[in-house]
A and B are shown apart, each in its own frame.
Chain A
Amino acid sequence: MTYIDRTGLWLIATAAILVAGAFVLPHWLTFILTLALAKALVVQGVVVQMRAGLVSFGQGLFFCVGGYAIGLGGNLLGIHDAFALLALGLVASVGLAAVIGLLMTRYRDIFFAMLSLALSMILFGVLVKSQTLGSTDGFNVHGVSYLGVTFDGANQKIAVYILTVVVSCACALFLYRSQHAGIGRVCEAIRENEIRVEYLGLSPRWILYAQYLVAAAVSALGGGLTALATGHIDPEMAFWTTSGEFVFIALLGGTMHVAAPFVAAVLFAFVRTYAIEFTPHTWQMILGLVLLGIIIFLPKGLWSLVSRNRRVKA
């Protein structure tokens, strides 16, 4: 395999088209895309773990850490550079994951799901209790600069959009490489049969630990980009329904391909925004029906529509 293969080229080409789109597409559309791509990064975190058979119902934890790092870094530490802030969120999130990952990797199945949910809800509780951070109202993110340049209004949104596309592309390339490297293959083996992997002389726990850290890192980036785009953060980012939505999108896309979460997140954003517009009273029902439809007709996720390998074994 060459360093960048066909899929890699496709990813880069798509990113280039999306960047070019910044100057053509209407602002509302680029904004939806920004949020969807940022969300997709968190979904990537969920998918990375899902490939190893773990479903996190608390990925909002790292999403929220990434977001709050942007706000707090600006308000408390006086950091205003977007890249420094994103790096701050990344470090904070991976640091946190390094500690709780030691506990989390002992759990599987539903227990992993529930414990991750509980931890994320504890962060939610702490933030709700913190009146200086605005409790549930959260606070706004002001005056972010990009390598020393500050943009105003619409240009700032374009800057965030381009940044999001670039970061997403970089993450996608990294995840794609690791998925097809040894560690990615072992993860699938762990999902299928953990004990056999142990017999092969590998330590599933430390591999899962590594995946947990990677998931935390990309989720924090997603949170940071969301905070930059909306300019507002609140504890809802750590609430369990937010995490539930990430799992929802992960299943919508499927775990077959690294691009699937991006496609699913964009599709989800459009389904939701149009559902809210046309049936403001029953948009949840429409989401539910779409999800059921996907599970019934496309059990491998949306990507199975694109995949040429039609006879994938279940």
Chain B
Amino acid sequence: MNVGALPPARMRRLTDMTTFYAILMDGMIYASWLFLVAAGLTVIYGVMRILNMAHGSFYAIGAYSAASLVGWYFSSNGEANPYWSYAILVGCALLAGLVVGFVIEQGLLRFMYKRNELLMVIVTYALLLILEDATKLVFGVDPYFTYQPYSLLGRSMIGELAFANYDLALVGASVVVGGLCWFVLNRTHTGKVLRAVIHDREIAVAMGVNVRLMFAGTFIVGTTLGALAGALTAPSISVSPGIGVEVIVLAFAVVVVGGLGSIEGAVVGALLVGLTRSMAVHLAPEIELFVIYGVMSLVLAVRPQGLFGRTVARKI
């Protein structure tokens, strides 16, 4: 590892235009993926105060169901219009998220809302363990390699570098998801009620808000967002056991940096982590491993509640 003055090659890279926009583009693409992964986590935490360790499993379930169904679509009708596979991706995610979210909320979580926050972390940890093996039982351990939707869109040259159009579309998808979340929270009646629940659960109950319904809805939306992230990622990776566990810590980092429970925070957190990481990869690959935890520790050291987190009034 080099300490001290940067070697000439790296100096040159710093001033190189190609590297500069590569950092920007890669950072944006990675950030949008991070946001997709983290959005569901922050929504659930914001409303329900549950730090959902099983979020990664929802991601995995989304990825697996999308990969297997799209794979089946291509292998069973070779002549079919390949563009339908995108509808299958999204449809799969919605269906998987709805079903899994509903079953878990109604079957388990709703009996536990009175327990404290930390115990809920452990409940979701148990869920993570169970879902990890359940996914394995349903889908097997063979990796699913469903590349068609990824390679179908081709690539575009931006300057000297080629980018996969699917990755660029992912940026669009995350803007849509973020926009929708923002719109629902800020511009609809449901959103207003939700914000009331976020602000003070007890008062909201006293005002006649059906908090149980809100919780059920939020959990299902959060699960679906997790599954959607998985489904949209599935075509660009090889879906194999353990992918869920890998994204949990990432999603946590993004959400903690941005401030737990804040959509704006998740956006900023994702951009911060995404761009820093991309900078590290291009300029100092040896520190890449520490980037995420470094950013998280630094932000927490300066702003313990995260960038957009609310400081909670201390109650006596």
B partners with A: yes
Q: Which of A111, A115, A122 contacts B290 (CB 8 A)?
A: A122
User: Which of A11-19, A211-219, A224-232, A279-287 forms contacts with chain B?
Assistant: A279-287
Binary interface encoding of chain B residues 219-259 relative to chain A, with 1 for a CB under 8 A from any of its CBs, else 0: 00000000000000000000000000100010011001000
Cβ contact within 8 Å between B249 and A117: yes
The residue in chain A whose Cβ has the minimal distance to the Cβ of B115 is A299
User: Using Cβ atoms and an 8 Å threshold, which residues of chain A touch B128?
Assistant: 288
Cβ contact within 8 Å between A129 and B127: no
User: Using Cβ atoms and an 8 Å threshold, which residues of chain B touch A114?
Assistant: 252, 256, 296, 300
B260 adjacent to chain A (CB < 8 Å): yes
User: Using Cβ atoms and an 8 Å threshold, which residues of chain A touch B121?
Assistant: 55, 110, 113
A195 adjacent to chain B (CB < 8 Å): yes
User: Which of B131-139, B163-171, B188-196 forms contacts with chain A?
Assistant: B131-139
Cβ contact within 8 Å between B133 and A281: yes
B123 adjacent to chain A (CB < 8 Å): yes
Instruction: With A107-B300, A107-B304 as known contacts, state yes or no: A284 contacts B122, CB within 8 Å.
Output: no
Cβ contact within 8 Å between A244 and B133: no
Q: How far is the CB of B248 from chain A (nearest CB, A)?
A: 9
Cβ contact within 8 Å between A109 and B117: yes
Instruction: With A284-B129, A285-B133, A295-B119 as known contacts, state yes or no: A241 contacts B300, CB within 8 Å.
Output: no
Cβ contact within 8 Å between A291 and B316: no
A106 adjacent to chain B (CB < 8 Å): yes
Cβ contact within 8 Å between A103 and B127: no
Interface residues of A in 65-108 (CB under 8 A from B): 103, 106-107
User: Using Cβ atoms and an 8 Å threshold, which residues of chain A touch B260?
Assistant: 110
User: Using Cβ atoms and an 8 Å threshold, which residues of chain A touch B118?
Assistant: 55, 109, 113
Q: How far is the CA of A106 from the CA of B301 in the complex (A)?
A: 9
Interface residues of A in 259-314 (CB under 8 A from B): 281-285, 287-289, 291-292, 295-296, 299
A7 adjacent to chain B (CB < 8 Å): no
Q: How far is the CB of A223 from chain B (nearest CB, A)?
A: 20
Cβ contact within 8 Å between A291 and B293: no
Cβ contact within 8 Å between A111 and B122: no
Cβ contact within 8 Å between A288 and B301: no
B276 adjacent to chain A (CB < 8 Å): no
Q: How far is the CA of A92 from the CA of B177 in the complex (A)?
A: 47
User: Using a CB–CB distance below 8 Å, which chain B residues touch chain A?
Assistant: 51, 108, 111-112, 115, 117-119, 121-123, 125-130, 132-134, 136-137, 245, 249, 252-253, 256, 260, 286, 289-290, 293-294, 296-297, 300-301, 304-305, 314-316
List the 7 shortest-distance A-B pairs measured between CB atoms, nearest first. Answer: A288-B129, A285-B133, A288-B130, A291-B126, A125-B289, A288-B126, A118-B293
User: Using a CB–CB distance below 8 Å, which chain A residues touch chain B?
Assistant: 55, 103, 106-107, 109-111, 113-115, 117-119, 121-122, 125-126, 128-129, 193-196, 240-241, 244, 247-248, 251, 281-285, 287-289, 291-292, 295-296, 299
